[in-house]
Amino acid sequence: MCSQHENNEIIVTFSDGSREVYNTVLAAIGRTANTKNLGLETLGLTTNPKNGKIFTSYEQTKCLNVYAVGDVVEGCPELTPVAIQAGVLLSRRLFGNSLSREYIDYRNVCTTVFTPIEYGTVGFSEEDALEAFGKENIEVYHKNFLPLEWSLTESRSNNYAFTKVIVDKSDNDKVIGLHFLGPNAGEVVQGYGVALKKGITFPELQETVGIHPTNAEEVVTLKISKSSGINAKAAGC
């Protein structure tokens, strides 16, 4: 919830009741599906009343021969590459010679917010991981670091980037989530997304030799866990 503050600043009240003051707020509320005139009700199909999206299970609706793909699907990431991949895999399952049983992995889709400081993510958020696996099974490794290019400019050298890796301790420290806030986050996360999809563990991530000096290197040099309470600010090389 937003309310006006003095000097044209905006007070933002979050769901937990905490408040912060900003000079700019960007509201991204998603898309509304244009499904009203499709006659879905004649097939016994219901949609989400808030956005018109169709409920499916791996593109299959409750109607045997009706499928939905892309942004019209409830709970599906609103990304063009996701729709393309889901459509390709659905076509293989329906019409392929081998009758494939391969389904899209919606969880490990890499996404990026292309704000002036990019934010990229793949896998579980920390909150979703805690809910899905339990606090006792989750460890979070994080780091604040100063990108080399920022250190060369006085106006930027007071700011820090951030990265976080979420680990499932009950499954051999499997990495289930990765978050990166900093320069070129989209490029960084796209590479790590392959590793998460293939089931990389945190020890394997640590054993990977980084390219120095890059921002992506900060992910493979993570050591400080959130539960330790140690300052997550990175030291120099």
Residue 35 inside a domain? The answer is no
Distance CA 237, CA 228 (A): 22
> Do 171 and 122 fall into the same domain?
yes
> Do 60 and 84 fall into the same domain?
yes
> Do 80 and 125 fall into the same domain?
no
> Do 143 and 223 fall into the same domain?
yes
Question: What is the 8-class DSSP label of residue 4?
Answer: E
pLDDT value of position 5: 65
Query: Domain ends where: 68, 95, 122?
Result: 95
Residue 148 inside a domain? The answer is yes
212 catalytic? Reply is yes
> Do 126 and 200 fall into the same domain?
yes
Residue 100 inside a domain? The answer is no
Residue 154 inside a domain? The answer is yes
Average pLDDT over residues 104-129: 95
> Do 26 and 77 fall into the same domain?
no
Q: What is the CATH number of the domain that holds 157?
A: 3.30.390.30
> Do 129 and 224 fall into the same domain?
yes
Number of domains in the chain: 3
> Do 131 and 214 fall into the same domain?
yes
Provide the residue range defining the domain that includes 115.
111-228
Q: Which of 5, 142, 179, 212 is catalytic?
A: 212
Q: How far apart are the first and last CA of the chain?
A: 42
* Strand stretches in the chain, DSSP E: 2-4, 10-13, 19-22, 111-113, 119-123, 138-145, 161-168, 174-181
Residue 236 inside a domain? The answer is no
> Do 199 and 122 fall into the same domain?
yes
Average pLDDT over residues 79-86: 95
pLDDT value of position 164: 98
pLDDT value of position 1: 62
Confidence band, pLDDT 50/70/90 cuts, at residue 157: confident
pLDDT in tens, 12-71: 888 888 989 888 887 767 789 999 999 999 999 999 999 999 999 999 999 999 999 999
> Do 121 and 221 fall into the same domain?
yes
> Do 45 and 7 fall into the same domain?
no
> Do 138 and 199 fall into the same domain?
yes
Residue 105 inside a domain? The answer is no
Tokens 């076509």 identify what position?
Answer: 91
